[in-house]
Amino acid sequence: MIESRHTTDKSFSLFKEAEKLIPGGVNGNIKFREPYPLFLSRASGSHVWDVDGNEYVDYVLSYGALILGHGHPAVLKALRNIADSLGTTLFGNPTPQESEFAEILLRIFMKDGMLRFTTSGLEATLLANRLGMAKSGKRKIAKFDGHYHGANPFLLANYRPKKRGKEGALEKEADSAEVRGDILDDVVVLPFNDIDGTKRALEREDVSSVILEPFEDGYIPAKRDFMHFLRKYTEENGIILVFDEVKTGFRIRLGGAVEYYGIKPDMICLGKIIGGGAPIGAVIGKPEIMELLDPRNRNKVFHSGTYNGNPISITLGMATVSELMEGNNFSRISEAATTLRKLISQTLDEFGVEHRTYGEGGVVNYTLSKEEVHTYRDISDENMKERKRIDSEMMKEGIYLIPASRYSMSLAHTEGDIDLTVNAMRRVLGSGTSSKEKPK
C-alpha cells in the first residue's frame, strides 16, 4: 500500500538548483508545477518514485507516451537487442526497420498512404502544415480554438486564451510572445464542434489546410456530424484536412480517431506512443501530398533530420505497437479505464459532487458539472479551480496526475492501482469543507 506522503524537500532543493541553470527549472513549460515540480528517480510498471522516496500510481505516463507502462519487458528486451546487435545508437542512414515500421503504421491508419518519420509530434504537425501550404499554394492555416499542436509557431494561437470572450465568440490570441504580425495573421481560428461557425470562418478565409485534435485535449470528442461536415467541406473546397493524433493514436482506439469516426483525412500526425518512450513522430498522408517530400521531386518540400527514423526509436516503437496489437491487450487497457471511470463517478456521487465523466479507450477524465462539455470553454473557471485542487491533493495521497487533466491508462495498471486511486479520492473528498461543497 502507498503511504500518505509527507515531504518533497529533495525535489524542492533540486528545483532551486535547477532554476539557476535552466529557465523556470524545467526543459519544457508543461513540466512546471506550482509551487515546484517533483523530481522523479525511478519507475516500474504503473508506479513512479520521487527523489524523496515517495511512491505514486502514475497516470501521467510521460504525457501519455508509455501506454505499456514503465519498463515493459518487450520494450526493454528490444532496447537490449538493438544495443547488442547494431554496435551503435545511430547511423544517419536508412535501416530496414524503418520500412517495416512504416508498413505497420500505414496498415493501421491509411493503407494507400505514405509516411515520413520525424523526431516529435511537434515536428510532425509542422511538417504537415508545410506540406499543406506547398500542395495548395496558400499560406493560411486553420486550427481550432482550444487545440494544442506542440510549440509550432504556425499554430500557437488560442490554446488557452486569456480573453475567453462571450459565448460562441472567438478573439484570436497568440500563445507565445514571438507569434505576432504576419505569423498570427496567417492563423485562422475556428470554433470546435460548431458547424455554422466553422463554415462561416472558412468561407471568409482562403486556407491551405485545417488541422484539429479529433478529441480536444485528448478527451472531448468532436461530434460525429461535425466531423462528417468537416470532411465534406474540405474535400469540396480543396482544403487539406489534418488529424493531429499525437494524443489519440493507439489510445482511444488502436487506429485512433480515424478508426473511431470512420473518416479518412488527408494527413495524420502521430507521436509519443509510437516511440515506446524514445523520441519520435510521423506524418502519414495521401501519396499525392507526400510525394512532395521526395528529394528527386523538382518542386520538393525540404525535410530532414539526423534522428528521423533512428534505430532506437523505431525498434522501441515496433515493440510497443506489436504488444498493443497482441491478443486482447488494448481491450485490457480499455476495460481498466472503463472501471476507473465508473468508480470515480460512484465516488463523486457518494460525496454529492456533481460531475460528468469522459474518455474513450485508455483515457479517463471528468468535469465537475452535469452539463455536457463540447469544448473547454464549457468548463467554468470555478470548476477548473476545484478540479485542480482535488488533483493536487490526490498527488499528496500518492496518485501522480497533471492537475485538471486526463488520466492516461496503461497495460501495467492493475485493479490494485484503481483501488488505491479511488481510496485516495475518498480521502481527499472527505477532508476539508471546500471539497464537500458542490461546485457551482
Question: Is residue 135 exposed (0-12), middle (13-18) or buried (19+ Cβ within 10 Å)?
Answer: buried
User: What is the per-residue pLDDT across 304-353, written as a single tens digit (0 to 9) for each?
Assistant: 999 999 999 999 999 999 999 999 999 999 999 999 999 999 999 999 99
Residue at grid coordinates 501522480: 400
Whether residue 149 is found in the same domain as residue 297: yes
Q: What percent of the chain has pLDDT over 70?
A: 95
How many Å apart are CA 214 and CA 235, to the nearest integer?
Answer: 17
- Write the CATH number for 303: 3.40.640.10
Predicted structure pTM score: 0.94
User: What is the per-residue pLDDT across 66-84, written as a single tens digit (0 to 9) for each?
Assistant: 999 999 999 999 999 998 9
Whether residue 245 is found in the same domain as residue 108: yes
Which of 265, 291, 325 marks a domain boundary? 325
Whether residue 235 is found in the same domain as residue 341: no
How many Å apart are CA 323 and CA 24, to the nearest integer?
Answer: 37
Phi-psi category of 250—alpha, beta or left, where left has phi over 0 and alpha has psi -120 to 50? left
In a domain, 334, yes or no: yes
- At residue 406, the pLDDT reads 97
Cα end-to-end span (Å), the chain: 35
In a domain, 432, yes or no: yes
pLDDT at 438 over 80: no
Grid cell, residue 188, equals: 485562422
For residue 207, the 8-state DSSP code is E
pLDDT at 6 over 90: no
For helices 195-204 and 224-236, give the axis angle rounded to 10 degrees. Answer: 20
In a domain, 196, yes or no: yes
Query: In what helix (H) or strand (E) does residue 350 lie, and over which residues does it extend?
Result: helix 329-350
Q: Do residues 320 and 276 make contact, with C-beta atoms less than 8 angstroms apart?
A: yes
How many Å apart are CA 325 and CA 333, to the nearest integer?
Answer: 12
Which of 278, 297, 325 marks a domain boundary? 325
User: What is the per-residue pLDDT across 177-221, written as a single tens digit (0 to 9) for each?
Assistant: 999 888 999 999 999 999 999 999 999 999 999 999 999 999 999
Q: What number of helices (H) and strands (E) belong to the chain?
A: 15, 16
Question: Is residue 153 exposed (0-12), middle (13-18) or buried (19+ Cβ within 10 Å)?
Answer: middle
- At residue 171, the pLDDT reads 86
Residues 6+ apart with CB under 8 A from 271: 120, 121, 122, 124, 246, 249, 280, 281, 282
In a domain, 226, yes or no: yes
Q: Do residues 140 and 209 make contact, with C-beta atoms less than 8 angstroms apart?
A: no
- Write the CATH number for 431: 3.90.1150.10
Handedness of CA 335, 341, 344, 348 (dihedral sign): negative
Whether residue 315 is found in the same domain as residue 410: no
Q: Do residues 438 and 95 make contact, with C-beta atoms less than 8 angstroms apart?
A: no
Residue 224 structural domain: 73-325
Whether residue 116 is found in the same domain as residue 242: yes
Phi, psi of 114 (to 5 degrees): -130, 165
Query: Which of the residues are catalytic?
Result: 148, 244, 272
Whether residue 172 is found in the same domain as residue 295: yes
Whether residue 308 is found in the same domain as residue 338: no
- At residue 436, the pLDDT reads 35
Q: List the beta strands (DSSP E) in 93-171.
A: 114-118, 140-144
Q: Domain count of the chain?
A: 2
User: What is the per-residue pLDDT across 83-133, written as a single tens digit (0 to 9) for each?
Assistant: 899 999 999 999 999 999 999 999 999 999 999 999 999 999 999 999 999
In a domain, 142, yes or no: yes
Whether residue 56 is found in the same domain as residue 111: no
Q: Could you tell me whether strands 356-358 and 363-367 are parallel, antiparallel, or unpaired per DSSP bridges?
A: antiparallel
Which of 309, 325, 341 marks a domain boundary? 325
Whether residue 79 is found in the same domain as residue 66: no
